[in-house]
Structure 1
Amino acid sequence: MSLKNIPLKLQYRTDRDNLVTEFFIPCLSNSIEYDRAVQFVTLKSISTLSLGLQNFADHDGKIRIITGHRYATNDLDVLGKIFNKKNGTFSVSAIRGHKLEVLQRMVQKNKIQIKIAIPRSEHVDGSFSERIGIFRDEEGEMVAYTGTSNETFNTENRNFESIDVYTSWSDRPRVDIKISDFERLWNNETKYVQVYDFTYAYQNNLLKYDSNWAIETLS
C-alpha cells in the first residue's frame, strides 16, 4: 500500500479527468492518514471518508478535518451527538446505517477529529474557505493538493473544478508548505481565524445552519 504506486498527474480538471475515481479514491485507499481543510463538510462525506481509508482501524490512522462553521441542520444535530463526549454514547437507533456506526466508533477512538475555523479579523470578511488536502501512507510518503470543496465522492453530480497535486517524492518543498499551513491552522496559530474543537464550538453555539448553502449543495 503506497501512494507512489498511483500514476498521479500534476493537475486534475473536470473536462478531462474524473477527480473522484482517478485521484481521491486511489489516494484514500492507499493512505492511513488524511488531513483536510475545507469550507463545508457533510455527515455523508465524513462517513464516506471513514470507510474509504484502508486499514483505518488496524493502524494508527486518523482523519483530521478543519472546516467552516456552517452545517446543514440534520448534520449538525447528529455530529453534535457523536462528538458530545459528556453525554457518552447514545442509542444506535439514533444513528442509522452502517456508515454512521463506523463514524461513531472512530470518533470514540479519537481517529476522526474535527475543528472549526471562524474568521476573527476585519481583514477577513466572510467564512473560512481554504482548500487543502494531505494524504499519508504507511511508508511516510505524502500527496498534497489544493482546490475543490467536494468531499461527497459523487461521480454523477459534480462541479466543474480543478486541483493541483504535489508529492513528497517529486515536490517536497511544496508539500512541506501545505503541511505547515495545515498544522498552523490545527494548532490555532494562523492570523485572522480562530480555531475551535468541534465539541466546544457546538456547545457554545458557534456553529450555524446555512440554508442557502444547504439548498445549493443538496439539490
Structure 2
Amino acid sequence: MLGEITCYIDCVSPYSYFALLYLEKHRESLKSYNVDIDIVPVFLGGINVGSGNKPPWTLHAKAKYSSFDSERAKKYFGVPNVKTPSFFPILSLLPQRALIFIKSQHPQTFIPTFVDLFSEMWENGIDVSKPELLAKVLSKRYTEPQIREILEKANSPEYKKMLNNNTQEALDRGAFGCPWFWVKNSNGDEEPFFGSDRFHYMWEYLELPWKDLELPASEKAKI
C-alpha cells in the first residue's frame, strides 16, 4: 500500500458521521492510489477521560460556536437532517462493541451498519444505546438469530476488552476526540490528524494529487 488511514470514530459523535461519509465517498479514489482505510470503533467517553478533554457542550464558548459550525458541516457533507437528539449524549458502549463484533464476523456489512447507526441516531432520533432500539436498527441487515448473537457478543468480556483496547490504541496515538486519524504515507512516516475538516492536509501528507479550494475573481473585477 502507498498509504494507510486508520480512522477512530464513535456513533456518539456527529463529526465522526461526517468523516465516515466523506471517507466512504472517496474510498475508491483512495484505493486507486493504493491508500487503504481502516475504520475502528472506539469509546469517545474513554478518550475524553483518558486525554483530559471536555466535550464541547460543557464549555459555553464551544457550545455557542458549535451551533454555527454544525450547520455549515451539515450543508458541506450533504446531511441537512442531522440534529441533536433529545436524549444526547448517550453511553455508546453497547453499539460500539456491537460494531466491533460485526466488523470481525460480518465485514461486508460493517460500514453500512455503522452508517445506519449514525443516521438513525442523528437524523431519526433513535437511541441506539438501548438494546431493543439497537436491535431494530440491526434488523435492516441481519436475521433475528444474528441480532441475538451480536447483542450477546457486545456484552461479553471479549468484546468489552476489544473496545477498551481500540480506545487505548487511539489514546496512545494522541487522541483527544473523534474523529481521530492515524495516517501512514509511502515513506513509512506516520502522523495524527483530528476532525472532519483536515482531509486536504491528509491528502498533502499522502502526496496525492488533489485540487485546492479556489476563489475566482468576480466577473465585475475583470471589466
* TM-score w.r.t. length of structure 1: 0.30
Structure number with greater Rg is 2
TM-score (norm 2): 0.30
Larger helix proportion, structure 1 or 2? Answer: 2
Higher strand share: 1
